[in-house]
């Protein structure tokens, strides 16, 4: 009986370890890859967050809620950037990780750059976003 429990525990841990998790990337490395043209940076926060805090200077603005809804903006973006690494960030890295994992399952090369605060702490540039009228 102990052997069976140990075996179940082992397989349970192995499954958990194999769960898809997007690799993390430091903001500076993300900025370098974007500048080199090998990657694109995507802010997956919501428009109200973009307006309130600003966004990373090179970021493409595509909300996670739009990804979840299958918005055409995401479809066009993914088609246009299939050959590049897609680096995502949000407020804390959680939403970016969720979208990154979903994209990885679809065959995209992805990375999670964490949150906007990681970008700003690294001294990287941000820009303002005005509300759409």
Q: What is the DSSP letter of 24?
A: B
**Residue pLDDT tens, the chain, 133 long:** 565 555 444 554 444 444 468 999 999 999 999 999 999 999 999 999 999 999 999 999 999 999 999 999 999 999 999 999 999 999 999 999 999 999 999 999 999 999 999 999 999 999 999 877 6
pLDDT for the residue numbered 113: 98
Please, are residues 117 and 89 in contact by the beta-carbon 8 Å criterion? no
DSSP reduced 3-state for 88? strand
- Give the other-Cβ count within 10 Å of 14's Cβ: 9
**21-127: CATH class:** alpha beta
Task: Please give the model's pTM, rounded to 2 decimal places.
Answer: 0.84
């Amino acid at each position: 009986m102990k052997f069976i429990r140990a075996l179940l525990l082992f397989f349970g841990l192995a499954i958990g370890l194999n769960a898809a998790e997007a690799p993390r990337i430091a903001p500076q490395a993300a900025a370098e890859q974007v500048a080199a043209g090998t990657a694109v940076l995507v802010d997956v926060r919501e428009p109200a967050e973009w307006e309130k805090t600003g966004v990373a200077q090179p970021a493409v603005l595509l909300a996670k809620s739009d990804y979840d809804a299958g918005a055409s903006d995401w479809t066009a973006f993914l088609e246009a950037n299939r050959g590049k690494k897609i680096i995502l960030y949000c407020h804390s890295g959680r939403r970016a990780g969720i979208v990154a994992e979903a994209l990885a399952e679809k065959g995209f090369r992805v990375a999670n750059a964490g949150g906007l605060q990681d970008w700003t702490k690294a001294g990287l540039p941000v820009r303002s976003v005005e509300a759409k009228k």
